[in-house]
Structure 1
Amino acid sequence: MKVIDLTHTIKPNMPVFPGTEPPQLSPASTFEQDGFRETLLNMYSHTGTHMDAPAHVREDGITLDKFPADKFVGKALVIDCSDLSEGDIIDISYINKYKNIIDEAEFILFKTNWDKYWDTEKYYGKFPVINDEVADFLISSNKKGIGLDVISIESIDSEDLPMHHKILKNNLVIIENLCNLDQIGNNLFTFCALPLKFIDSDGASIRAIAILD
C-alpha cells in the first residue's frame, strides 16, 4: 500500500482566494510557560486544500457536518488535463478517454499540474476549468465529488459562480487546491478527503490522501 498526500500545508502567507485573509497561527501555550504546546488557528473555512459544501453558495444547501462520513471516501480517478494551458477548457473529450473505467469512480480529480504554480502569481491566473458538459456528466453519473489542483472550479473572476451552483445544488462536493495528482497514475484508487467537522460548515480545510494498492 502506498499513501500519497494531496494536501497543501496550512501556513502564514500561503495562497488564499483574493479578498480573504491568510491564516494566522500563533502560540497559545508554550513549553516555557505552560509545559506543553498549543497553537491558536485563525483562518477562513475555505483555506488551502479544502471542500465546498452545497451551503457555500445556496441558502438551502446542506452543510458538511450533515453528510455521513462515507461521503468523503471512495474510489477515485485522475483525469489527465496537463496538456492544457492558461484559460483552456476541460471538455468532455477528457472524460471520454477514460470511459472504460470512469463509471467505477466516485470522485473525479482533474490534473492540470497547476499546483506547480503554488506560491506564485500565476496560480491566480487563467487556469483550466471544466465546461457545462463535464459538469452535467458528473451530476448525471451520481459522483460524490469533483476535485481540482487549481484555486477554483471556475474562472477566478467569476462573480455569479454558475459552476459552483450547478454542481453543489446536486449535493456533490467540490475539492479545490489539491496537489501531487501527478504521482497517482491512471488507475482507480481509494480517495479520502476528510473535512474538519464543525457545525454549519459551508466548507472546510481537509487532509486529502490517495491510497494506492
Structure 2
Amino acid sequence: MPDKRVVFDFDISFTNRGGIQGQDFRLDIAADTISDQELADYIVTDMQLLMVGKVDILNKYYMEEKHKRQPINQLRDDKYIDLSHTIFDGLVTYKGLPSPVICDYLSREQSKANYEPGTEFQIGKIEMVTNTGTYIDCPFHRFEHGKDLSEMELERFADLEAITINAENAIEINKSYFTGKEIRNKAVLVYTGWAKHWNTTQYFENHPYLTAEAAEYLKECSVKLVGIDSHNIDDTRGKSRPVHTILLGAEILIVEHLCNLDKLPKSGYKFNAVPPKFKGVGTFPVRAYASFNS
C-alpha cells in the first residue's frame, strides 16, 4: 500500500480566550484515512497545548507521499491492547453455569411515551452470574472472610507493571515457566493460546492450568496478580483448586478467560482490570487491557 499523508487546516480556540490557526498542515498516516477527532487530539498533544476548547479540522484531503516519520495512527493503535472477550446474550463462559440474559428493561420504542418527539432512550437489563466473560477473582471468591471487590484497593486493579509468560501449547504449567523471570510485584499474564477455542466445546476440555508448585512460587515472589487465557487457572478434572487457594489466600488476584495475549511484548507495559465496586461479591467481569506509554 502506498504511503499516505493527510493535509489539512486547523482552527483552535482556547477556553481562556484567544486561539491559533494552521494552514496546509501535513502528517504521515498509517491507514488510508484518519478522523477529525484523531487529528485534533494529535495536534493538541504534539503541540502541548493547554486550556483547549473547540478544535476545527478544515479543508482535509489525502495524498500519496513517502513517509518521513512514524505514522500517527500507528502510535495511537499501539497505546492499548484489549485483552477481554465480548459478553453477549447466551454466552457460555463456564459449562454448568447459566449464560447471561441481555435485554431491554426500557426499549427505545417504549421510551417515546416519556419524552418529546425525536427523544428516545434505552435502559438495558442484564441477568448473569458473576463468573461471566473475562473476570477477576478476589479473596472473597474462595474465602468467606476474604476481601470482596469493594474492599480491594483500587491500585490492586490498575496500572500494574506486567510481564508475559509464554506457555503456548503447554497444558501443565509448572514452576519452571516462571523461574529466572523478573516477576516480583508484577501482574503475571500466562499466554497459552487457549483463547482460540473460546465459545467452542473444546474450550472446556483438557485446558491449560497452573500447578500448585507454580502457585507457591508466584506467592513466594510476591506477584500482584496472575492472569491466564484459559478456561481456569486450576486443573478442573478433580475437586481441589490449589491455585485459587494459594493465590487468593495471599491476596494475589486472578484473572481468567483473557485473550489477545499473543499481541503483548514480554514486558514494558501495564495491566488493567478494574471491576465495579460491589459489596459481598468476589468475582466480576472486567474490561482487561494492556497500556503502553505514548
The alignment status of 1:24 with 2:105, answered yes or no, reads: no
CA shift digits 1:121-166 (9 cap, x unpaired): 1100111211122111211121111000012111223323222111
> Aligned-pair distance for 1:200?
1.4
The alignment status of 1:11 with 2:88, answered yes or no, reads: yes
Number of residue pairs matched by the alignment: 207
SS in structure 1 opposite 2:89? coil
SS in structure 1 opposite 2:274? strand
Check whether the contact 2:183–2:221 (CA below 8 A) recurs between aligned residues: no
Partner of 2:60: none
The alignment status of 1:58 with 2:138, answered yes or no, reads: no
2: CA distance between counterparts of 1:201 and 1:144? 20
Check whether the contact 1:15–1:118 (CA below 8 A) recurs between aligned residues: no
SS in structure 2 opposite 1:64? coil
Q: CA RMSD in A?
A: 1.4
SS in structure 2 opposite 1:66? coil
Report the TM-score, using the length of structure 1 for normalisation: 0.92
Partner of 1:209: 289
Identity %: 30
- Which structure is higher in RCO with an 8 Å CA cutoff and minimum separation 6? 1
2: CA distance between counterparts of 1:132 and 1:193? 24
SS in structure 2 opposite 1:7? coil
The alignment status of 1:126 with 2:126, answered yes or no, reads: no
CA shift digits 1:9-29 (9 cap, x unpaired): 111222321221000001111
Check whether the contact 1:125–1:156 (CA below 8 A) recurs between aligned residues: no
In structure 1, give the amino acid aligned to 2:202: K
2: CA distance between counterparts of 1:158 and 1:18? 15
CA shift digits 1:55-90 (9 cap, x unpaired): 112112111110110000211111001132xxx211
The alignment status of 1:141 with 2:221, answered yes or no, reads: yes
Gaps of 5+ in 2: 1-77, 112-119
> Aligned-pair distance for 1:91?
1.5
Partner of 1:102: 183
Partner of 2:246: 166
Q: Which has the larger radius of gyration?
A: 2
In structure 1, give the amino acid aligned to 2:175: I
1: CA distance between counterparts of 2:87 and 2:169? 29
> Aligned-pair distance for 1:191?
0.5
1: CA distance between counterparts of 2:138 and 2:241? 14
Partner of 1:89: 172
Structure 1 residue ranges (4+ consecutive) displaced by more than 4 angstroms after TM superposition = none
Name which of 192, 196, 204 aligns with 1:116: 196
